[in-house]
């Protein structure tokens, strides 16, 4: 009898960890496990803002997939998913087709532009190694042009749309990087503008007020301008137009204002909310007993707060553990477990040696929060590949 086929789409947190867990949960004669990913590497999405600002090289952020999974136990296919044929148990890739008995969808997210005119065409977004390399190069080149092209202010104006987690972490890195760029390209620091624009009444909506105040004071002191309560109406080749009619000319616009589930999920005909599937408690797709969804493609409800959990790496990783066990249970006729996120805390970096966060009920600021962030990052690497992975890719200098 042929072995059941388990197909995992996406090699981010949810996908690669599902592969690692299935590799551990199942013997190689029990199932044929295949993971498909666009690239031959896994990247830590949570570090991409550092690569985009140029404060961390992208090679630190990515890990070759054959360094994570045992290629004798799990097949790796480097290809791009084009279509999920849910009723035929088939997935169309750019270069081939694959069939499955069990499917794990972990394709991550797309930027949510909220219909803002010109945003998709004219703004960068922080979403992959390719996209952040482009942002870093673009900022560098804009600074290089400044003294050659008539000292145009817009060349050294950076607009960051969205002051949620990603936006704040990115401007924190820019606050570190810009002084270096100014030295390199002979530009007075005070000429450079980094403007973080947020439609909500505060930055980091939903975060503890005291922590938010710390973040704002810290970042303003390091030269970040905040415009809150200020929706962006339009984004064009010259900059952004705000809802109040004001225009900010900027050669670099980076949108961090929100994400939605990968478009392929919606296009497959699954019911979604902002591209995310409201999964059953055992992380299965409603109506499809053999399809699981992990990470940013999955929507789960925080019943205490009566709203969806924000999509995070923390949740994607935990879901992979449940999916590993549930696929095994499904294959063996066992009972499937419910997924319950165990939110250990949230820490947002503000740049080198600076962060804010809450772990349990404890608020953390500055260097302590920053060290905690690195512990969290290193813990993930440990789960992925043990001590050798931490030594190879970890952030070992905590302070």
Is 137 among the catalytic positions? no
Instruction: Round to whole Å and give the CA distance between 12 and 391.
Output: 20
How many residues belong to the site for ligand FAD (CB under 6 A)? Answer: 33
Taking CB under 6 A as the criterion, the residue among 164, 257, 295, 357 binding ligand FAD is 295
* By CB under 6 A, residue 319 contacts ligand FAD: no
| Interaction of residue 296 with ligand FAD, rule CB under 6 A | yes
Residue 242 CB, nearest distance to ligand FAD (Å)? Answer: 24
Quote the Cα angle for 121-127-129, to 5°: 110
What interhelical angle do 209-221 and 165-185 show, nearest 10?
Answer: 10
CB of 241 to ligand FAD, least distance (A): 25
- By CB under 6 A, name the one of 25, 112, 169, 266 that touches ligand FAD: 169
Using CB under 6 A as the binding rule, whether residue 48 contacts ligand FAD is answered as: yes
Which of 84, 103, 126, 232 binds ligand FAD (CB under 6 A)? It is 126
Q: Collect all residues with Cβ–Cβ distance below 8 Å to 111 and sequence separation of at least 6.
A: 120, 125, 127, 255, 257, 258, 259, 260
Tokens representing 215 are: 């973040």
Q: Is 18 one of the binding residues for ligand FAD (CB under 6 A)? A: no
| Ramachandran class of 232: left when φ > 0, alpha when ψ lies in -120 to 50, beta otherwise | beta
Q: Distance between CA atoms of 237 and 252, rounded to whole angstroms?
A: 9
- Euclidean distance between CA atoms 105 and 120, whole angstroms: 25
Subset of 82-111 contacting ligand FAD (CB under 6 A): 106-108
DSSP conformational letter for 335 = P
Question: Is 313 an interacting residue with respect to ligand FAD (CB under 6 A)?
Answer: yes
- State the first-to-last Cα distance of the chain, in angstroms, to the nearest integer: 56
Q: Show the site string, 65-84: x = touches ligand FAD by CB under 6 A, - = not.
A: ---------------xx---
Catalytic residue among 169, 173, 198, 354: 169
Residues forming contacts to ligand FAD in the complex (CB under 6 A) are: 10-15, 36-39, 45-46, 48-49, 80-81, 106-108, 126, 128, 165-166, 169, 262, 264, 295-296, 311-314, 316
């Amino acid at each position: 009898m042929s072995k059941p086929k388990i197909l995992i789409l996406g090699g981010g947190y949810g996908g690669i960890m599902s592969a690692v867990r299935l590799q551990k949960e199942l013997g190689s004669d029990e199932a044929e496990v295949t993971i498909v990913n666009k690239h031959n590497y896994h990247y830590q999405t949570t570090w991409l803002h550092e690569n985009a600002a140029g404060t961390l090289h992208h090679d630190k952020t990515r890990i070759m997939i054959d360094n994570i999974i045992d290629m004798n136990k799990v097949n790796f296919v480097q290809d791009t998913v084009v279509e999920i044929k849910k009723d035929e148990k088939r997935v169309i890739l750019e270069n081939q087709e694959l069939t499955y008995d069990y499917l794990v969808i972990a394709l991550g997210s797309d930027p949510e532009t909220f219909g803002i005119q010109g945003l998709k065409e004219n703004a960068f977004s922080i979403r992959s190694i390719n996209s952040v390399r482009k942002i870093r190069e673009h900022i560098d080149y804009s600074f290089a042009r400044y003294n050659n092209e008539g000292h145009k202010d817009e060349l050294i104006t950076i607009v960051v749309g969205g002051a949620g987690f990603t936006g704040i972490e990115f401007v924190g890195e820019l606050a570190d990087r810009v002084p270096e760029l100014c030295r390199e390209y002979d530009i007075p620091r005070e000429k450079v503008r980094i403007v973080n624009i947020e439609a909500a009444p505060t930055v980091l909506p939903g975060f503890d007020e005291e922590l938010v105040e710390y973040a704002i004071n810290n970042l303003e002191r390091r030269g970040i301008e905040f415009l809150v309560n200020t929706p962006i109406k339009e984004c064009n080749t010259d900059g952004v137009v705000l809802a109040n009619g004001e225009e900010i000319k900027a050669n670099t616009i980076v949108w961090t204002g929100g994400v939605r589930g990968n478009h392929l999920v919606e296009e497959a005909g699954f019911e979604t909310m902002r591209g995310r599937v409201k999964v059953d408690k055992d992380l299965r797709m409603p109506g499809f007993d053999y399809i699981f969804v992990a990470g940013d493609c999955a929507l789960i409800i925080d019943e205490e707060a009566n709203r969806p959990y924000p999509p995070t790496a923390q949740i994607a990783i935990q879901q992979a553990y449940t999916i590993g066990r549930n696929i095994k249970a499904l294959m063996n006729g066992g009972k499937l477990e419910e997924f319950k996120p165990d939110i250990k805390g949230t820490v947002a970096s503000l740049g080198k040696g600076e962060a804010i966060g809450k772990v349990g009920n404890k608020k953390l600021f500055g260097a302590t929060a920053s060290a905690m962030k690195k512990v969290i990052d290193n813990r993930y690497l440990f789960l992925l590949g043990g001590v050798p992975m931490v030594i190879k890719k970890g952030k070992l200098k905590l302070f």
